[in-house]
Amino acid sequence: SLGRPTIKAIIDERNKSRFTSMQDFISRLYTDLNKRTLENLIKSGAFDTFGNNRRQMMSVYARMLDNEAKQGKDAISGQMSLFDLVDESEKSQFEIKMPDVSEYTKEDILAFEKEVLGVYLSGHPLEDYEEKWKKNISRTTLDFQIDDETGRTKVHDGAKEIVGGMITNKTIKYTKTNKVMAFITLEDLVGSVEVVIFPRD
């Protein structure tokens, strides 16, 4: 998450002129940024428009930020770097280049988006299994949510239904007789539902 001062600084700077690259973004805003903020912006896909893949950007953002911070300190103390002495046309030679690395897997990209934003933007991890999922379930997680119009769920108490998805959260508990049970969050393509797993299961 970004703080309001950081968001305002980004918007104010963008209103002056569009950002042309991640390097440009960092150069213009390094005093308002930290490494965690940059990492979250990359993971969320906010920098995809610059034309580099997320793994490339994750490989260099920390060095770019460190370099800008160092140059800023040098400028304050009156020190000059080699970068300051070269001609404008030669400055690009001193900029950190994007490494030649392939993009993260689809699973990693989606996991990053979920971690940073709480939602998937580029797709869903279960998309590749959608047909198999539909064939093997009797209900979706949506059927367990209270309908706004009827005030009831489509699944009635005591019904036996089959749902499918991925476990996104798990809490282990012990009963008074020291038997193991669990509470899990099951997520499918339309939502999520809490599931209780009793000791006998």
The torsion angles phi and psi of 157, rounded to 5 degrees, stand at: -55, 130
- Reported as a single tens digit per residue, the pLDDT across 129-163 is 999 999 999 999 999 999 888 889 999 889 999 99
Residue 77 in this model has a pLDDT that exceeds 60: no
Confidence of residue 70 (pLDDT cuts 50, 70, 90): confident
Rg of the chain on CA atoms, in Å: 25
Give mean pLDDT, residues 71-77.
Answer: 64
pLDDT at position 87, please?
58
- Poorest-confidence range of 87-96, 136-145, 188-197? 87-96
Query: How would DSSP label each residue in 122-168?
Result: S--TTGGGHHHHHHH-S--GGGGSPPTTTSS-SSPTT-------EEE
Report which of residues 2 and 105 the model is more confident about. Answer: 105
**C-alpha–C-alpha distance, residues 150 and 147, integer Å:** 6
Whole-model pTM: value is: 0.73
- Yes or no: say if 188 and 141 are a contact pair by the CB < 8 Å rule: yes
**C-alpha–C-alpha distance, residues 22 and 45, integer Å:** 12
Bridge partners of residue 184, in order along the sequence:
170, 195
pLDDT at position 2, please?
81
pLDDT at position 179, please?
95
Q: In what order do the strands lie in the sheet with 166-174?
A: 166-174, 180-187, 192-197
- Reported as a single tens digit per residue, the pLDDT across 3-48 is 899 999 999 999 999 999 999 999 999 999 999 999 999 999 999 9
Report which of residues 149 and 72 the model is more confident about. Answer: 149
Average pLDDT along the chain? 89
